[in-house]
Structure 1
Amino acid sequence: MGLGGSSSRRNGFIVDTLPPERLLDRFRQRSAARFFPGAMGPGARALVESRLPGTRDRVVAAADDICRSRFDLLGYRGLSFGEPVDWHLDPLSGRRAPLVHWSRLDPLDPLTVGDKKIVWELNRHQWLVRLGQAYQLTGDERYAEAFARYVNEWLRANPPGLGINWTSSLELALRIISWCWALFLFRSSLALSGDLFVQMLGAMCAHAAHVEKNLSYYFSPNTHLTGEALGLFYMGVMFPELPMAGRWRALGTRILVEQSERQVLEDGVYFEQSSGYQRYTIEIYLHFLILAGRIGLAVAPEVANRVRRMLDFLLAIRRPDGSIPHVGDADGGWLLPLDERSPDDFRGLFSNAAAVFGRPDYAWAAAGPMSETLWLLGAAGLDAVEALRPEPPSTTPSRLFADGGYAVMRSDWGPHGHQLILDAGPLGCGTSDGHGHADLLSIQVAAFGAPYLVDAGTYCYTADREWRDFFRSTAAHSTVVVDGVGQAIPAGSFRWDGRPRARVRRWRSTTAFDLVDAEHDAYQRLPDPVLHRRRVIFVKPRYWVVVDDLQGAAEHQVELCFQFGPMPVTVDSALWARAEGPGGHGLLVRPFASVPLKPEVVEGEIAPIRGWVSSNYGRREPAPILIYSAVTRLPLRIATLLFPVEDASAGFPDVCALGGDGPGPAGLVLDRGLEWIGFEGPEASGGVTLR
C-alpha cells in the first residue's frame, strides 16, 4: 500500500491513487512525531531570537543569496550555475556533464564532467534546508516559492538514471535526506502543493530504489555505504506506509550497525584516517540514533559506545583554541549543514553530542548550545546542553590511540596550552586508502593555544591531478622526505601504489614528560632500503625534542620538513628558525646533526609546488615550509628542538648537543646542564633527566 491506498507507477515514480492534496494532508498530520523535534517545533523563531542571537540574520542572508541563484558551496562563494540553474554544470571549468545513462559516465574524469565535487555539492540540495530555515524564521513565502521552483526544475532536468546526478548512490542518499528536511520545514507553506509533494515522493522512491540496488559494498565501503544506509533509513522512518519502507528501514539499520563495528576502531579512530570523515561518520550515526529513538527502535548499545569513542578521539586532538586539525582528506562537506561553519569548527557536532549523551566534556568542547542542536532537538536539546556543567575531559591530556596510531601530547586542557599530535597510523583503511595522506610520522603542533605546524589540507580531488597529489604528498607534511620521493606513490585521485606500514614501538607518559617512539617502512622500497624511526619527547609543559633516525647504508638526500600555517617564518645561518604566531607568541626550531644541514623557508612556489595550505575545498594560500636538508651517507640522526616562547622576539634558549659514538647527537643539554635529554644508553628510547 502507498501512503493512503493502492499505488501505480507513472514515469518510474510511485504515485498514490489518493488525490495529491489528501496525501499531503496525511503527511502533515501523521509524520511529525517521527521526525527531528527541532524541525517541527512551532516556536523556532522565538527561540532563535532569544537564545541564539545572530542566527536569524545569518540564515536569512544565505537564503537571500540562494533565491538569487548564488550558492556558497565548500570553499567557494557566490557560485552561479546559470538561469535557470544548470544542474550538470561545473561553473569553474565550464564543463557540462552529458545527459546519458549514469553507467556511461566516469565522475572522476574532469575532462568530461569537470569537478564532480562541485556539481554534486550543488545537487545534494542541502541549501534547500537553509531556505526552509529562513521560512521558519520569517514566514516569508518567497523562500518556499524558491524551494518549489528549484525542485520542479531539478525534476525536469534529471530523469531517473540519466546524468551525473545518478552516478553516486551516496549523492542520491544525501539528496533524500535534504528533501526530507525540506518537506518538513515547508510543510505549512502553500508552495508545497499536493502535486509537488507527490512528485517529490515519487522521485525519492526512485532514489531509494537506485541506492538499494547500487550500495557501495565494493567501490567505497566507508562513508559512502553508511551515508547510503542512512538515506534508506530516513525513507523507511519518514514514510512508513510505503510498501518498501520496512525493507529500507531494516536494511539501513543492519548496515549501520554492522559498519559501526567495521569502520570504527576500538580506540575510536575512524578507519579512513581522516578527521573530516570521522566527523561525517559521527553525524551519520547521531542522525540514526535520534531517528531510531523517535520511532522506538532499539539499537545495540555498542553503536552508541563507538560514537562516544569517536567523539572522545576528537576531544583529544581538538586544539587548545577549539579548532580540529585536518588529518587526511578534508573536503569541507557535511552530512547536513544546519549552520555555516568552517571545516575545522566542530562545535555544532559537540553540542548535538552533549544533548544526546549528556556529557559535560562535550558541552565544554561545544562552548555552549549551538544552533544545530535547536534544529535537531528543539528547545529540549538546548536545555539539555545548558543543564550540563561544562568540564574538560577527565582523561589525562596526553594519550596514545594505539589502534589508530595517534599520539597526543598536551600541557593541559586550557585554551592557551601546548599540543603535539604524531601520526603513526596506516595510510588509510584496509579496503581503500583513498582519503589517507602520505603523512607517516608527521606532527602537528599548537602553542599558546594556536596552530603552528599544520596538515596542509586537501584543496581538490579530481579537478587538478598535480595539486591533488601535492596536498596529500609527504612533502606537504611535517615529516622526513628521502631522495625527493613520497612515502607512497599516487596511482589515481583516490588510490596509492603500495601500502607502507607504520607502528608505535613505545609510549610512555608521566607527570614530567611524554615519549612516543614510532617507525615506518615506506622507504624500504628504495634500492638502498631506509627505515625511518621518529621519537618525540615532550618535556612538560614547555617544549618538545623530535629525534629522527634514518637507517641505511648508502648516500641519500634527506629533507626534514616543518609545514607551518600562514605566518612569518625566518631561519638564520646558525639553523635557528623563528615562527611568529598570533598574540605575539612564537615557536623556535633548531635541529642538531653530525653533518651540515642546509636550511631554507619555501612559500608559495609553483615549480615544483611547495609551501601551500588549504583551509577548505577549492581554497589555497601560500604558507611557509621550513626545510633542513642534507646529502649524506646513512645512518643519520637529527635531533630537533621545538621551543614555544611567549614573546616571538625572545632570545634563543641555551642548548647544545651531546656527542656520541652513533650517527648523530646522543642527547641535548638545556639551561647549562639543568635539563638533559638522552637518546642512547640505558634510556635508548628517549630518557629525560631533569637535574
Structure 2
Amino acid sequence: MDIVSARAKLREAAALMRVGEMGERLADRDPSTLLARAQEVMADTYTFSKTWDMERCRVPFALPKGAYDWNVVNNDDEEWCFMLNRMDFLEDLALASLVTGEASYAEKAAALIGSWVEAHPAIVPELSTRTLDTGIRIRTWATVLPTLDAAGALSDELLERTLGSIRTQIASLRERYLPKYETSNWGSIQTLGILTVLATIGDDPESDPDWAWAKGRAESQMAAQVYPDGIDWEQSTMYHVEVLLYALRALHVLEARGIEAPLGLRGATDRLAHGLAAQMMPDGCIDAQGDSDRTDVRGLLALCAGVLGDAALARASGRTQLDAGDLFAFGCDVEDALAACAGKAGAELPLVFDGVDSGLFVARSSWGADANMTVFSSGPLGSGHGHSDNLHVTVVYQGAPVLVDAGRFTYREDSPVRPYLKGPRAHNVALLDGRSSCVPKGSWGYSDFGYPLKTYARHAGGAHYFEGALVGHDPLHVLVRKLVALDCGVWICADEALAEGEHELVSRFHFDPGVRVAPGGEACRVSCAAGELVLGSTGSISMGSEQISLDYNVLSDAALVEVRSGFAERGSQLWWMASGRVRVSPVPVLRGGSEPVDTALAEAVRFEVGADEFYTVAFFHGEAYTGVKAFACEGVSFHAKAVVVHGMGERRELTVLRA
C-alpha cells in the first residue's frame, strides 16, 4: 500500500468513527484518570491498572528516556514486560490528544510506535514478541493511527515503517500459529485482531491472503471456544471477557464497513455478552472466578448493548454513555446505538442462567442493586486459567458479596500461592478428609483431577435448586452438593459423601474481605454491608482466616469457616445462611404421617422469615427403599428428594425441587 492510499484509509476510518466529535463528547466526563495515565506515559512511567488489563501492576516503574529496552522485566515478573508490549497505553495518549487538543500526546504515541518498530527490524521469538501480545499490539496500533494521522503526528517515513511492521507481525503470527490456539483466547485475539487491522487499513481486505486465513481460523475458534450456553470454555471470566472484547471489535468494524463477518461471529458474540451479564453481581462487578479479578463490567455491557443493539443488555448496564476508552475504540455510532437501546422500555434479562454446557448456574432475586444472588459452579476444568472449583458456591446478600471466589494473585511459577488459589481448598466446596483428587501443579498444570458429573438445576417460583457431584479417588469417593437458594435471602445446603471406611466431610467457606465473622453460640455471626447473617450447620463449625486475591498481585485477609462431620461409608451435613432476624429450627420428616425418619435418610430445617410466614426445606440423602414410602413435612405429604414447604398463616404450599 502506498502512502497516499494508506492515509486515505486512515481518514476513512476516522470518519467512520466520527473522531472529530469525540473531544466534545468527552468534555462532559471526568478525564482525570485518563489524563493521569497519559501523563505517566509522557514521563516514561508505566502502571497497568485499566479495567481489562490481564495482569495488573499498580506499582509505577520508570523506563530510561530515549530508546526503550522492550524486553525489560519489572516487578520481578515477566508479565510486566508482556503488558508493556501490548502498548494499549497508546490509546490513553491518543484520547488525551482529543480531550486537550494538545498534539504532544499524539507525538509521544507516534514516537513509541517508532521506537518499537526500530527495535524489531525482524520478528524473532523473545519476551516482546509473544503471539498473544502481538495480536493485541497491532490492533492497538490500528486503533490509534487514524487519530495520530489527524493530529499530524505521522510522518510518511514513520507510517511506511509502521505499516511494514504490521505486515511482518501478521506474517509472524501465521508462521507461529499452533493447533492449541484453536481453543485458546490467544488464538481468537490474534485472528480477530488481524481481521480488525486489515479492515481498518487494508485497500481490499477480503482479497488479502492473510484475511482468508484469519477468517477461517476465527470461524473455527468461535465454534470451539464458546459453549452453546454462552460461556467461554476456559472457565475464567477474565478471559471470557478478552474473547468477547475482540469479537465485539471485529464484528463492529466489519459490519460498519459492509464486510462479511466470519461465520458464527455475531452469534458467539451475543452469547458471550449474555453469559457475562448473567455473572454480574448486583454491584456491577464479577466475582474473581478462575483466573479473574473483581472487576466492574457495566461499561462493557453497555458496549455490548451498543454493538449488538440489545436493549436488555443496556438496561442491565444502567448506562447511556460508553466509557471513554470504548467511545474512542468503537466510535460515536456505537454510543448513539446504546442511547437508543437504553430508551426502550420493558427489556430485561432473565433472572436465572442455567449453563448446562459450562456447569455455571446463576439465580438472582431481581436485577436491582439490593438483589440476592447465587452462583453454583461445577463443570469441566477448562484451560490453564480454570480452577478446581467444582461444587463452588458464591453468595450475594442484598447486593453485598458474602461467600466469594478466592481469585488468582499471580502467574509466577515460583509462587506457592498460585497453585493454592487454583486448588479446591481456596473455593467454597466440600472435601473428603479436607483434601481432593484435584491437584494443581505449578502455575498452569494439574497432576490429577476428579470427574465432575452434570449439574441438575430446577427453578420454581422463588426457589432454586442446584445439585452437583464430583467423583474422586484414593480412596474412591463421591461428593454431592444439594443447594437450595430462596429469593427471600435464605440458603441451605446438604453436602454428602460416599466412601468406604471412616472419613471426615469438610465444607469450606471463604468470605469477602469486607465481611466479618464472629462466634454466635453454635453458629457464626456474619456481618456484611447489607446487615447480619447467621451461618449454621449440623456439623462442627470452626473459624479462621486465609488470604484471597481480588486483584492481580494483591492479597487480602479474609474470614474462613470450616464445617466438619465424621462418618463411616456414607455421611452428610447441612449448612445454612439467613438473616439474623430469621428463626431457624430443625423439623422432622415423618414416615406414614407419624414416624420421624432417621436424619441419615432425611432432614428438614424451618426458616421463620416473618411473624406468620416460614419456609421449610427437606432433603433426602438417599433412596427410601424399605418400609412405608409415604412421607410428610409440616403436615404436607410428598415423595421427592428435595422440597420446600411455604407456610403463610394456615396455608401450606409444596414445591418439589428434586423428584
TM-score normalised to structure 1 length: 0.83
Between the aligned partners of 1:538 and 1:654, the Cα distance in structure 2 is: 15
Instruction: Tell me if 1:434 matches 2:371.
Output: no
Q: Counterparts of 2:215 and 2:425 in 1: how far apart (Å)?
A: 42
1:687 correspondence with 2:627: no
User: Does structure 2 retain, via aligned residues, the 8 Å contact 1:569–1:601?
Assistant: no
CA shift in 2, pair 1:366/1:327, >3 Å: same
Q: What is the CA-CA distance between 1:166 and the residue it aligns to?
A: 5.1
User: Structure 1 residues 375, 508: CA separation in 2 closer, same or farther (over 3 Å shift)?
Assistant: same
The Cα offsets for residues 132-164 of structure 1, whole Å up to 9 and x where unpaired, read as: 111122221221232233233333434423453
Q: Aligned partners of 2:160 and 2:336: how far apart in 1?
A: 37
Q: Is residue 143–residue 329 contact of structure 2 (8 Å, CA) maintained in 1?
A: no
In 1, the alpha carbon distance for the partners of 2:330 and 2:442 equals 41
Matched with 1:63 is 38
CA distance in 2 between partners of 1:470 and 1:249 (Å): 42
Gapped regions of structure 1 (runs ≥ 5): 5-22, 94-114, 333-342, 603-610
Task: Determine the structure 2 residue equivalent to 1:545.
Answer: 492
Task: Identify which of 592, 597, 617 aligns with 2:552.
Answer: 617
**In the superposition, relative to structure 1, how do residues 412 and 229 fare at CA in structure 2: closer, same or farther (>3 Å)?**
same
Which residue of 2 is the match for residue 98 of structure 1? none
How far the C-alpha of 1:359 sits from its partner, in A, is: 1.4
* Partner deviation per Cα, 1:247-288 (whole Å, 9 max, x = no partner): 111222222222211111111111111111111111111111
Instruction: Specify the alignment match of 1:106 in structure 2.
Output: none
| Contact 1:81/1:87 (8 A) holds in 2 | no
Give the Cα–Cα distance (whole angstroms) in 1 for the partners of residues 297 and 560 of structure 2: 27
Q: Match of 2:191?
A: 229
One-letter code aligned to 2:261: V
Shift of 1:670: 3.1
Post-superposition shift, 1:355? 1.2
Matched residues in 2 for 1:161 and 1:346: separation? 35
User: Which one of the candidate residues 676, 681, 688 is aligned to 2:616?
Assistant: 676
Aligned residue in 1 for 2:458: 508
Give the alignment of 1:60-459 within 5 angstroms. 60-73=35-48, 74-84=55-65, 85-93=68-76, 115-162=77-124, 164-165=126-127, 168-218=130-180, 221-241=183-203, 246-299=208-261, 302-330=264-292, 344-368=295-319, 369-371=321-323, 372-388=325-341, 389=343, 394=348, 396-428=350-382, 433-459=383-409
- 1:476 aligned partner: 426
Residue 634 (structure 1) shift: 4.0
Question: Structure 1 pair 161/30, CA: closer, same or farther in 2 (3 Å)?
Answer: closer
Structure 2 CA distance, aligned partners of 1:575 and 1:664? 23
Alpha-carbon offset, residue 518 of structure 1: 1.4
CA separation of 1:445 and 1:257: change in aligned 2, threshold 3 A: same
SS at match of 1:620: strand
Aligned with 1:187: secondary structure?
A: helix
Q: Distance in 2 between matches of 1:488 and 1:265?
A: 23
The count of corresponding residues between Structure 1 and Structure 2 is: 610
Deviates more, 1:70-79 or 1:319-328: 70-79
Cα gap change, 1:270 to 1:473, in 2 (>3 Å): same
CA distance in 1, matches of 2:604, 2:139: 57
Q: Summarize the Cα distance change of 1:679–1:444 in structure 2 as closer, same or farther, 3 Å threshold.
A: same
The 8 Å contact of residues 452 and 587 in structure 1, kept in 2 or not, is answered as no
Is residue 183–residue 224 contact of structure 2 (8 Å, CA) maintained in 1?
Answer: no
1:653 aligns with 2:583: yes
- Distance (Å, rounded) in 1 between the aligned partners of 2:450 and 2:346: 36
CA distance in 2, matches of 1:674, 1:179: 61
Instruction: Please say if residues 36 and 377 of structure 1, whose CA atoms lie closer than 8 Å, have aligned partners that are also in contact.
Output: no
User: Sequence identity of aligned pairs in percent?
Assistant: 21
* Structure showing the higher strand proportion among its residues: 2
> Mean Cα displacement is larger for which, 571-580 or 180-189?
571-580
Is 1:519 equivalent to 2:469 in the alignment? yes
| AA aligned opposite 1:687 | V
* Counterpart-to-counterpart distance in 2, 1:674 and 1:293: 54
Q: Offset at 1:171?
A: 1.2
- Cα pair 1:456 1:614 within 8 Å, conserved: yes
Opposite residue 535 of structure 1, the aligned amino acid is K
Whether the 8 Å contact between 1:34 and 1:295 is mirrored in structure 2 is no
Gaps in structure 2 of 5+ consecutive residues: 49-54, 589-595, 625-637, 648-659
- 2:181–2:188 Cα contact (<8 Å) kept: no
Instruction: Look up the SS of the partner of 1:43 in the other structure.
Output: helix
Q: Check 1:181–1:143 CA distance in 2 against 1; reply closer, same or farther (3 A cut).
A: same
Cα 1:219–1:412, aligned 2, differ >3 Å: closer, same or farther? closer
Distance 2:298 2:573 in 1: 39
Contact 1:557 1:629 in 2 (8 A): yes
Closer, same or farther in 2 for the Cα pair 1:304/1:344, shift >3 Å? same
Q: Please, what is the CA RMSD of the aligned residues? A: 2.5
1:641 counterpart SS class = strand
Distance 1:304 1:530, change over 3 A: same
Q: CA deviation at 1:244?
A: 10
Q: Is the 8 A contact 1:269 1:310 kept in 2?
A: yes
Preserved CA contact (<8 Å) 2:505 2:571: no
Distance in 2, Cα, partners of 1:378 & 1:192: 21
Structure 1 residues 668 and 143, CA gap change in structure 2 (3 angstroms)? same
> 1:101 matched to which residue of 2?
none
Instruction: State the SS of the aligned residue for 1:615.
Output: strand
In structure 2, what is the Cα distance between the partners aligned to 1:677 and 1:243?
61
Amino acid at match of 2:351: P
Shift of 1:456: 0.8
1:35–1:285 distance in 2 versus 1, CA, 3 Å = farther
Distance in 1 (CA, whole Å) between partners of 2:241 and 2:345 is: 21
Structure-2 separation of matches of 1:350 and 1:673:
38
| Amino acid across the alignment from 1:642 | M
Q: What TM-score do you get using the length of structure 2 for normalisation?
A: 0.87
User: How far has the Cα of 1:512 moved from its partner?
Assistant: 4.0
